[in-house]
Amino acid sequence: MKGKSTLSRRDLLKTGAVGGLGLLLGAGGIKGLGMLGESKQTASAAGDSDAVIPFHGAHQAGIVTPMQDFVCMGAFNLTITDIAEVRKLLKAWTVASARLANGESVGEESDNALVPPADTGEVMGLQAMRTTLTFGVGPSFFDSRFGLADKRPSKLVDIPAFKGDELVDEWSRGDLIVQVCANDPQVAFHALRNLARIARGKAVLRWLQQGFQRTGAADASGSTPRNLLGFKDGTVNTNVEDKQAVKDIVWAEAGDGASWMDGGSYMIMRRIRMRIEVWDRTSLGEQEATFGRHRQSGAPLGAAKEHDLADYAKQGKNGKPMIGADSHMAVASMGGKVKIHRRGYSYSNGIDIKTGQLDAGLLFICYNRDPSSQYIPMQAKMSEVDRLNEYIEHVGSGIYAMLPGVNKGGYIGDTLL
């Protein structure tokens, strides 16, 4: 990335540039069901695509930040057992992350040609591209290795087995989680690659998944993106400008039972594979009945516009409700009583060499203040009756305590460690 001489120009981009999705399969359905207001998480406009989002603050960036175009997420397993070494790693990651978010390399380069460069170099000359780096710890972080068992938050519960789960161990869990989002895929990958490089000897990657949504350049109007099944995805989500809603839905507080989590959140990751070949042979009528929405407009069945309220009592010519009780929309709405903050991305990993079918779907990401009363009951209901289950399978899973924000002079996880 560009060096220090460009920082003053980048700082100017902050003015008026920063601020203002993943499919909801498996945990709350098409974004637009039972949530608050119109989503502010569509792809960024071209004018702010290279803006800088500050790394430091009361909350970590990348949680309620308007969604960037790409994600690169990785889980790490620690290979050390000394808590002092964990601190060293997180301090090193903090320094590197602040630089990466600012559009700099991970460290100052040496003129010594006999040593490896400090940075891997593939983004030299590129902008910061609204990069955010967001960190969390999994339940395994609180096992016997580091003497932190008594600090495990009661809200960091193990995700139960849901009906229909086909979880693969290598796509699940992890001691540490890192979510990198940016408006350029190479910039996002570069950040995670260099964090993995810094972690050598202390932690190894357990899994890594890249994801995407349609870019701001592809749709300058900022209309609702579509998922890989062809339906609009992101009609409604938590309105991040509604501070009370964000407080209630997203942010943990000291009074919730773990004072060190004040200002943090709990993230659920579900890697959801779509049976795309089966879906592509399904009639339009069945597709729309599965979602409970019109494919073209995104409107609820029986309505005309995307943001029209769903009328679950409205009947069709056959005398049956137009939006079936087992439709994704009806099941996911949960009567508007359960809310989570979604931040998911589509993914495509080529083909499954065993079947020759596409390996593609959703990297579902959501944030909530209390998974036991938010995400878990929502997913439990969906796993039982959602019509969409015929076309998807959950193959990866993880829950993580996403740490509070980092103040200048502090480091990632300092409230815990």
In degrees, rounded to 5, the angle at the alpha carbon of residue 249 between the alpha carbons of residues 246 and 252 is 90
Helix, strand, or coil (residue 97): helix
Structure token digits, residue 131: 């990069």
Phi then psi dihedrals of residue 357, to 5 deg: -95, 160
DSSP 11: H
Name the H helices within 47-164. 83-101
Structure token digits, residue 241: 């400008």
Strand partners, 271: 363, 396
Q: Other C-beta atoms within 10 Å of 325: how many?
A: 12
Distances (CA, A) of 30 to 317, 329, 413: 25, 7, 33
Which tens digits make up the pLDDT trace of 338-378? 899 999 999 999 999 999 999 999 999 999 999 999 999 99
Helix, strand, or coil (residue 293): strand
Distance CA 49, CA 45 (A): 6
Distance CA 160, CA 178 (A): 23
Structure token digits, residue 93: 């990651």
Helix, strand, or coil (residue 367): strand
| Residue ranges in the chain whose pLDDT is less than 70 | 1-47
Distance CA 164, CA 328 (A): 16
Task: Please count the CA atoms within 13 angstroms of the CA of 151 that sit on its side-chain side.
Answer: 17
Are the beta carbons of 205 and 74 closer than 8 angstroms?
yes
**Exposed, middle or buried: residue 99 (CB in 10 Å: 0-12, 13-18, 19+)?**
buried
Are the beta carbons of 411 and 90 closer than 8 angstroms?
yes
Distance CA 385, CA 48 (A): 42
For the whole model, what pTM was predicted? 0.88
DSSP string of 13-77, one letter each residue:
HTTTTS------TTTT-STTSS-SSB-S-SPPPGGGTT----S-SSS-TTSSSPP-SEEEEEEEE
pLDDT score, position 1: 52
Phi then psi dihedrals of residue 153, to 5 deg: -65, 145
**Exposed, middle or buried: residue 112 (CB in 10 Å: 0-12, 13-18, 19+)?**
exposed
Task: Please count the CA atoms within 13 angstroms of the CA of 55 that sit on its side-chain side.
Answer: 24
Are the beta carbons of 9 and 252 closer than 8 angstroms?
no
Name the nearest CA neighbour of 261 among 148, 408, 131, 146: 148
Segments making up each domain of the chain, as ranges: 4-148+159-402
Distance CA 219, CA 278 (A): 28
Helix or strand holding residue 384 (H, E):
helix 375-385
Q: Other C-beta atoms within 10 Å of 201: how many?
A: 10
How large is the greatest C-alpha to C-alpha distance in the chain, in angstroms? Answer: 78
Distances (CA, A) of 33 to 43, 108, 319, 329, 331: 20, 47, 24, 6, 9
